[in-house]
Amino acid sequence: MSDDQFLAASAKHPIVPNHVYKYGTAGFRMKADLLDGVSFRVGLLSGLRSRKLNGQAIGVMITASHNPAIDNGVKIVDPMGEMLEQEWEAFATKLVNSPSDQELLENYKALASQLKIDLSAPGRVVYGRDTRPSGHSLVAALADAFEATNTEYTDYKILTTPQLHYLTRCVNTEGTPKAYGKVSEQGYYEKMAEAFTRALRGRKPQGQLIVDCANGVGGPKLSECLKVFPEGNIDIKVVNDDVLRPEVLNLDVSQS
């Protein structure tokens, strides 16, 4: 990693002046037009996190769940598919709030020194996004951070959040006695179908289950998942699965 390369990449993704960012349970979540610089800096932190954990893959998900379509968010997933270690939330907050490109570089190096992270060691990040139009630019900002810091990365494109958690764990356990599943969306669907079949214990549910997907990423993904379920196991009808019109995402959805 060269300082010049780092600074040039950072200059492409500034944070909004005088806005205070805080990493919470949902990561950084707010209006999407405030997030370009945040996504870049989360990319930096996720690479550091991977290096701290001896090159294990870290996940990054671009989503705002049930929020309106104008919102988005960026959150980090630890190697076994769990939430980011709480201590690192403060590191994320400090790094993202660095007021200039130069101070960002200094804070990045200081954090690496504090945590005894070798910046020349390999790092790996996997990431995905939901169907919000703003996701395109936010994953581009992530990729710029990885390129600037020589971090290996894999873009799994459009996913649900649980799928990204699943893939992160699978990547880190592949080829071990604790392999969690196939490193693919298909592997996720197969694992869900197998678990559901085991849970039924031979019983057959009665009636139809209607799933309102609020025109989000869950609609098409659930439809794909149902193709793997054994025929006749359960009658599920997917409704509100229009992901082609951003304006109807989570329209009139309650957040309670």
**Residues with catalytic roles:** 65
Strands (E) located in 55-175: 57-62, 71-77, 124-129, 152-158
DSSP assignment of 87-145 equals HHHHHHHHHHT-SSHHHHHHHHHHHHHHTT--TTS--EEEEEE-S-TTHHHHHHHHHHH
- Alpha-carbon distance 46 to 245, whole Å? 31
- Alpha-carbon distance 66 to 132, whole Å? 11
- Alpha-carbon distance 142 to 129, whole Å? 11
Nearest to 180 by CA among 193, 165, 197: 165
The DSSP output letter for 85 is: P
CA contacts within 13 A on the Cβ side of 248: 13
Q: Burial letters for 13-22: b for 16+ Cβ neighbours within 10 Å, e otherwise?
A: bebeeeeebe
* 3-class state of residue 214 by DSSP: coil
